[in-house]
Structure 1
Amino acid sequence: MAVSVSRDLTVQVLEDVNAVKLSDRQQALRAAIQKGEPKCLGVSQVMLGLMVISYSIPLHVTEITEVIHLGVPWWSGLTFITAGVTAIILDRNGSIKTLRVCLLVSLVSAVLSVVAVIIYSVDMNRNSPGTCDKTPSSRCSMKYYTMNMSRGVKTSLLLFTLAQMVISSVVCFLLFRQRSSFRQYTSLSDAAPSTPTSVSPPDLN
């Protein structure tokens, strides 16, 4: 905080240099974030989340497996949507606090994507369609067709989840790099006045 004293003993509190640096860094942070286009990545995450949830609906009319028992498409899809909405908010409000929240949500999304990929892979390995058991009418059993459809849907969900894992990892990398660049300014506060103020000396008479 800079202070100047005039000849009439009037004290002026000048603009805080740290506050100016913080404001400049926040503007630079916003510009750096927008270069990474978090809005586009956020929209992609929201779309993937909606697709995961909508594509999982046919699984409820087929044989219920571990994927449905654990509700993987639902919690993973909602996590993707949350991460996307947070990235869109970050594009509009490029503050360090919002960056931290978006980084945390994207990290959770990436971790849950890995968990979902593992569950999909294990489920598809355990519940393979098997061989076609011919019925007297020379057609495969209904279970064979439903398991094939279920496997196809799970393959699509697995691909969507892999895409989400890549996007979340990219977002985490970009945000962590920006956070590291501005870490030294996170402890600064805007307690200092933004405009000069004057303090008159007390009247001793």
Structure 2
Amino acid sequence: MAVAVSRDLTVQVMDDVNAVKLIDRQKALRAAIQRGEPKCLGVSQVMLGLMVMSYSIPLHFTIGTEVVNLGVPWWSGLTFIAAGVVAIILDKHCTMKILRVSMVASGASTLLALVAVIIYSVDINRNPELPCVKTSHGLCNDDHYSTMLSRGLKSSLLLFTLAQAAISAVLGFIHFRQRRSFGQYAYLTQDAPLTSTSDLN
């Protein structure tokens, strides 16, 4: 708070200019983050993570390949879910600390998604669909159907993972720009007057 004394010795207590500027910057940060729609992108990350994990369940009943042995859908899906949850939390509680955590989570999600894409691509290339060998009933053998199912599921997982990499990269870029724009005010938040989240809405 600032104090002003006039010539007639009356004292006026005014708002501290720096505190007002800080509160305005906090409101601007919240508005900027809201424009980036972290909640929508976070929900899509969680949904993609759940889809990757659920689509991978039938792979455990087919021929075991590198994707299954390395558990790629599980660790990539959990990473997507974690990054999405952090983005949803950022939408509710907008602070520089959570913004940094969300930026790191998005970066990790993007990196692991790219690793998963490479593993899926190599696995699909190494394990081609086996040719159909007719059985006595006139149908193809089980190995043909098993490899066909496996390749179809891995192709779907590859597309989901590419979508996740794109979403995580976009969200990380948005958070990086916001952190650069408002980063100079991060150290001031410790000395700033406490404001409830309703003040920042």
State whether TM-score is above 0.5. yes
Distance 2:77 2:193 in 1: 45
Query: Structure 1-normalised TM-score?
Result: 0.85
CA RMSD across the alignment:
2.4
The Cα of 1:120 is off from its aligned counterpart by 0.3
SS at match of 1:111: helix
Does structure 1 residue 44 correspond to structure 2 residue 44?
yes
Query: Identity percentage over the alignment?
Result: 66
Unaligned regions of 5+ residues in structure 1, if any? 195-205
The Cα of 1:140 is off from its aligned counterpart by 2.3
Q: Structure 1 residues 95, 140: closer, same or farther in 2, change over 3 A? A: same
Higher relative contact order (CA 8 A, sep 6+): 1
Query: Structure 2-normalised TM-score?
Result: 0.86
- Counterpart AA for 1:31: A
The Cα of 1:193 is off from its aligned counterpart by 5.8
- Tell whether the 8 Å contact from 1:18 to 1:188 is kept in structure 2 after alignment: no
**Residues 65-123 of structure 1, C-alpha deviation per residue, up to 9 Å, x if partnerless?**
11011111111111111111111111111211111110010110000000000000001
Alignment of 1:51-200 (within 5 A): 51-191=51-191
The Cα of 1:130 is off from its aligned counterpart by 3.0
The Cα of 1:132 is off from its aligned counterpart by 2.2
Unaligned regions of 5+ residues in structure 2, if any? 195-201
- Tell whether the 8 Å contact from 1:19 to 1:190 is kept in structure 2 after alignment: no
Larger Rg: 1
- How many residues align? The count is 193
State which drifts further: 13-22 or 62-71: 13-22
Q: Which has the higher helix share?
A: 2
Q: Structure 1 residues 60, 37: closer, same or farther in 2, change over 3 A? A: same
Distance 1:185 1:191 in 2: 11
Distance 2:192 2:114 in 1: 45
